[in-house]
Copies of this chain bind each other. A is one copy, B any other.
């Protein structure tokens, strides 16, 4: 049985204006810290600032604040401030944030499943460069 020449056509359309916006959104959303925060929030459903900072390895306080602010601005997380001392701030994903997590799940699994292949390709490429 012959397979179709192109098994998957990933992107259905190509409106340049929409493309630019989509690219910008993906660029922001595909950020390293955003994805890691998305992961821990998807796992724990609600977390305080310091809890997130402990769960996301090597994130600086500055980057975490910045990332959470952007995610809040984009409607991915809600930030709840409890007027107590010491302050208590909780973060949780919105439905939009959850749906993004689901969408990214495919990429995450792809990366997991193909780690070896990528490492092998890199090793072979690097070996060829040395010659």
Binding site for B on A (CB under 8 A): 5-14, 16, 18, 20-23, 25-27, 29-32, 35-36, 38-39, 42-43, 45, 57, 72-75, 96, 98-112, 114-115, 117-118, 120-122, 125-126
Contacts and interface: CB of A to CB of B under 8 A. Distances in A.
Contacts of A75: 117-118, 120-122, 125
A23 B36 contact: yes
A102 B30 CA distance: 16
Contacts of A35: 23, 26, 30
A18 B116 CA distance: 11
Q: Is the interface of A mostly helix, strand, loop or mixed?
A: helix
A107 B108 contact: no
Given A23-B32, A23-B36, A36-B23, A99 B114 contact: yes
Nearest to A125: B73
A32 B21 CA distance: 12
Contacts of A122: 73-75
B101 A8 contact: yes
Contacts of A118: 25, 74-75, 96
A110 B14 CA distance: 15
Contact of A96 (B32, B42, B96, B114): B114
